[in-house]
Amino acid sequence: MEVNDMASEVEEAFREQALAAQLAVLSNYGGMSATHCEHCGEAIPEARRQALPGVALCVPCKQHIERMGGR
């Protein structure tokens, strides 16, 4: 197996894991924002929690997931 093929498989597995985590968050959506990021555990700022009811990720984690192709 070539290095590019292995890298693609790793990327796809990571993307699937990230999407599964997001689906789990969405399935538990109750309208209440999390106080701490469900991915890294850092505090989510109050302004973000008020702006996005039900938010579960901090900005850096959300940006990382979006860069990897998740939502």
**pLDDT tier at 53 (50, 70, 90 boundaries)?**
confident
d(CA 2, CA 25): 35
Domain count across the chain: 1
| pLDDT for residue 64 is more than 70 | yes
How much is the average pLDDT of 34-55?
92
Q: Whole domain around residue 15: which residue ranges?
A: 3-67
Residue 49's closest CA among 60, 39, 41, 57?
57
Structure tokens at 58: 């901090």
Q: Higher pLDDT residue, 60 or 22? A: 60
Q: Rounded CA gap, 1 and 34, in Å?
A: 42
Which pTM value belongs to this model? Answer: 0.54
Model confidence band, residue 51 (pLDDT cutoffs 50, 70, 90) = confident
